[in-house]
Amino acid sequence: MQQHNNIPLTDFEELTPEIMQQKATENYENIKRRHSIRSFSNKPVPKEIIETCIKAAATAPSGANHQPWHFVAIHSADIKKQIRIEAENLERSFYEGRAGEEWLDALKPLGTDASKPYLESAPWLIAIFSQKKGGIHAEDKNQNYYVHESVGIATGFLIQALHHSGLVTLTHTPKPMSFLTKICNRNPDNERPYMLLIAGYPDKDATVPEHALVKKELDEIASFI
Ligand code: IYR
């Protein structure tokens, strides 16, 4: 049995209510400027920025602090090309009918299709994998808990970190994503591809679908009781 050992909290910064409100508003105004972008320029982004964003993502809370995630940051043109070929093949069958009418109708306002040139033009693709087994040390092989929740929170942190650093992103989930396991050379017995994030600079003529800007009002999404 492991012992628990707590240390005093020393890095909490207490703010006045006024500053808190100011910070909450600043954060809201900043995150409102995050948009899913589908047109990326090939302008390079230094690896160190991606590394720092992944370190921020990895501070996310996770079940038993097992950190059940692995991030594969892809810069290689050859690997990006392989991913584009596989993803576009899957997306073609999806858009040609596999998705079903209702799903395709829901996507119409976004104007998406099977063509994914950004999988090659963007400087970075980040393939996020979840791990069934692990532990607080990388070599552990214990049961992981709340894996989906944990990896979802870390992915949210990563999207926020990339946006905060001045990059744009797209979450991409071609179905099924198992081809990523192979291309990224990950162990299929323990890891599942969770999401592919595209990160970089927007193309000069990048657009945002009007549909994506419609956000529900606070009283529609929250109750205070
Ligand atoms: N994966 C496809 C389809 C797609 C699905 C949803 I749900 C979206 O919000 C957007 C796209 C694609 O990337 O085109």
Whether residue 97 lies inside any domain: the answer is no
- Whether residue 173 is predicted with pLDDT greater than 90 in this model: the reply is yes
Whether residue 77 lies inside any domain: the answer is yes
- pLDDT (0 to 100) of residue 156: 98
- DSSP line for 179-203: HHHHHTT--TTTEEEEEEEEEEPBP
- Whether residue 5 is predicted with pLDDT greater than 80 in this model: the reply is yes
Whether residue 185 lies inside any domain: the answer is yes
**Which atom of ligand 1 is found nearest the CA of 112?**
14
Whether residue 148 lies inside any domain: the answer is yes
Alpha carbon of 115 to ligand 1 centroid (Å): 11
Q: How many domains does the chain have?
A: 1
User: Closest residue (by CA) to atom 13 of ligand 1?
Assistant: 172
Q: How confident is the model at residue 2 (pLDDT cuts 50, 70, 90)?
A: confident
- pLDDT (0 to 100) of residue 1: 66
8 A C-beta contact, residue 165 and residue 53? yes
Whether residue 59 lies inside any domain: the answer is yes
Give the residue from 46, 83, 51 showing the smallest Cα distance to 193.
Answer: 83
pLDDT above 70: percentage of residues in the chain = 100
- pLDDT (0 to 100) of residue 150: 98
Ligand 1 lining (C-beta closer than 6 Å): 91, 94, 107, 110, 112, 172-174
Tokens of 173: 């989930």
Give the residue from 181, 146, 170, 163 showing the smallest Cα distance to 66.
Answer: 146
- pLDDT (0 to 100) of residue 55: 99
Whether residue 72 lies inside any domain: the answer is yes
Whether residue 1 lies inside any domain: the answer is no
pLDDT in tens, 177-212: 999 999 999 999 999 999 999 999 999 999 999 999
SS3 102: helix
CATH number of the domain at 168, please. Answer: 3.40.109.10
Whether residue 132 lies inside any domain: the answer is yes
- pLDDT (0 to 100) of residue 38: 97
pLDDT in tens, 52-77: 999 999 999 999 999 999 999 999 99
Domain residues for 55? 40-81+117-220
- The pTM (predicted TM-score) of the whole model is 0.97
